[in-house]
Amino acid sequence: MTGVAELERRVEAGEDGLGDILEVSMGPHHPSTHGVFRMDVRLEGEKVVRLKPVFGYLHRNHEKIAEHGAYLAAIPYTDRLDYLNSMTNNWGYVLAVEKLAGIPVPERAEYIRVIVAELSRFQNHAGLVGFLLQDMGASGTPLMYAFREREKILDLFESLSGARMMCNYMRFGGLRVDCTPAWLEEVRQLVSGLPKFVDEFEALLRGNEILMARTQGVGVLPRELAINAGVTGPMLRASGVNYDIRKVDHYGVYDRFDFRVPLGDHGDVYDRYMMRILEMRESLKILQQAVRDIPGGPIIDPKTRLRGLRPKAGEAYGRIEAPKGELGFFLISDGSTIPCRYRVRPPSMINLTILEDMCLGHNIADVVVILGSVDIVLGEVDR
């Protein structure tokens, strides 16, 4: 409560103009903060003059836990980072281990990874847009429509991996279980139906005058600041920077698919909202191609040692384009079965760096909308 102490000090010092400045502690239990997240906001009237994000309420020292277990034992813990996208979290981690130990991945496994990652991206964006609109006061309706489609994707995850959210599906060198032809057929059917949902969803609010008034020109993130602050993912692309790790790093088999990277122009909340809708469409494009082209073959490299993996001493940084931005894992091995250093690069935490810059000068009601457009998950911010 440094803010309160500061205010008390100023009251005691008898400073003038105190009536105009109001300290508000938004959160940690505030419905708009998407979890236990707090913002120390200083207001002048209704205008934000200072905003400091405060987090750590969900801190469980994920990295320390991983540094106490085998390489395999960290996979289920990565599910719980960004708990909406356990599939992409798994992928980021296994990619780093594969780089560290030089493990090849069979082609079929790469295709299934792309399929589950893009399904994951779709449901994340659908959910985020629903939450964002909920924050703006579109109570329930868009969120429920988004969750209805998300439900269908989670059902697919469950029939594939056994769990809806904590999938624990990928392994270094491949995957845990293979998908059946029937499952692929279900994906094909779902993917053919989803464009209709996106159209409807867009029609629901795209032209809505209230939405435009609330989002256009709000929370503008300039291009240079976005780059310098390490903002990644849809947030960055909404500011007009063409940087998608799927295109830049050519990881997995993303090279083989024809898809485009949507870019924004203004970097405001409306652009970030549209960016998610456009990315959902691109994900569907990738999914259609991946389901069509998936080859047969093994799903895991037969020489991989899952239990008791001992990578050579050294280090590796592996990163993927997670739905929220660049998700990276940095591993240092000392030649034993336990990672010597395990570090997550959490995209949603780093995207929060510029929260203050985006909010300054806006009304307090806009802070909620701006935070909603950043797309944070506290499991990942606090780790």
- Which region among 38-46, 204-212, 284-292, 361-369 touches another protein (by CB under 8 A)? 204-212
Tell me how far, at minimum, the Cβ of 65 lies from another protein, in Å.
8
Query: Interface residues for another protein in 311-350 (CB under 8 A)?
Result: 311-317, 319, 326, 328, 330, 332-333, 341, 343, 345, 349-350
Structure-block tokens of residue 306: 């899952």
Q: Which residues pair with 128 in a beta bridge?
A: none
| Position 76 contacts another protein (CB under 8 A) | yes
Q: Tell me the C-alpha distance between 99 and 88, whole Å.
A: 16
Tell me how far, at minimum, the Cβ of 159 lies from another protein, in Å.
4
| Position 307 contacts another protein (CB under 8 A) | yes
| Position 78 contacts another protein (CB under 8 A) | no
Q: Which helix (H) or strand (E) holds 154?
A: helix 141-161
Closest CA to 221 of 353, 378, 321: 353
Pick 292 or 307: Cβ nearer another protein: 307
For 64, other C-beta atoms within 10 Å of its C-beta total 10
Pick 59 or 260: Cβ nearer another protein: 59
Pick 138 or 364: Cβ nearer another protein: 138
Structure-block tokens of residue 86: 């356990």
Pick 20 or 180: Cβ nearer another protein: 180
Pick 107 or 356: Cβ nearer another protein: 356
Tell me how far, at minimum, the Cβ of 132 lies from another protein, in Å.
15
Tell me how far, at minimum, the Cβ of 14 lies from another protein, in Å.
27
CB-based burial label for 225 (10 Å; 0-12, 13-18, 19+): middle
Query: Interface residues for another protein in 134-153 (CB under 8 A)?
Result: 141, 145, 148, 151-152
| Position 260 contacts another protein (CB under 8 A) | no
| Position 29 contacts another protein (CB under 8 A) | no
Question: 6: which residues sit within 8 A by CB, 6+ positions away?
Answer: 23
Contact 154, 79 (CB under 8 A): no
Tell me how far, at minimum, the Cβ of 63 lies from another protein, in Å.
6
Contact 75, 168 (CB under 8 A): yes
| Position 249 contacts another protein (CB under 8 A) | yes
| Position 268 contacts another protein (CB under 8 A) | no
Pick 20 or 75: Cβ nearer another protein: 75
| Position 206 contacts another protein (CB under 8 A) | yes
| Position 185 contacts another protein (CB under 8 A) | no
| Position 305 contacts another protein (CB under 8 A) | yes
Amino acid at 166: M
Pick 217 or 250: Cβ nearer another protein: 250
| Position 276 contacts another protein (CB under 8 A) | no
Structure-block tokens of residue 315: 């280090």
- Which region among 22-30, 115-123, 301-309, 360-368 touches another protein (by CB under 8 A)? 301-309
Q: For the stretch 11-48, what's the b/e string if a residue is b when 16 or more beta carbons lie within 10 angstroms of its beta carbon?
A: eeeeeeeeeebeeeebbbeeebbbbbbbbbbbbeeeeb
Whether the link from the prior residue into 28 is cis, omega within 30° of 0, is yes
| Position 228 contacts another protein (CB under 8 A) | yes
Q: How far is CA 81 from CA 100, 147, 165, 327, 339, in A?
A: 21, 20, 11, 11, 18
Structure-block tokens of residue 351: 């995207």
Tell me how far, at minimum, the Cβ of 10 lies from another protein, in Å.
20
Tell me how far, at minimum, the Cβ of 17 lies from another protein, in Å.
24
Per CB under 8 A, the list member of 7, 72, 261, 365 interacting with another protein is 72
> In this structure, is the dihedral angle defined by the CA atoms of residues 234, 236, 239 and 241, taken in order, positive or negative?
negative
Q: Tell me the C-alpha distance between 364 and 13, whole Å.
A: 28
Amino acid at 249: D
Per CB under 8 A, the list member of 22, 47, 49, 63 interacting with another protein is 63
Contact 331, 315 (CB under 8 A): yes
Pick 18 or 177: Cβ nearer another protein: 177
Tell me how far, at minimum, the Cβ of 19 lies from another protein, in Å.
27
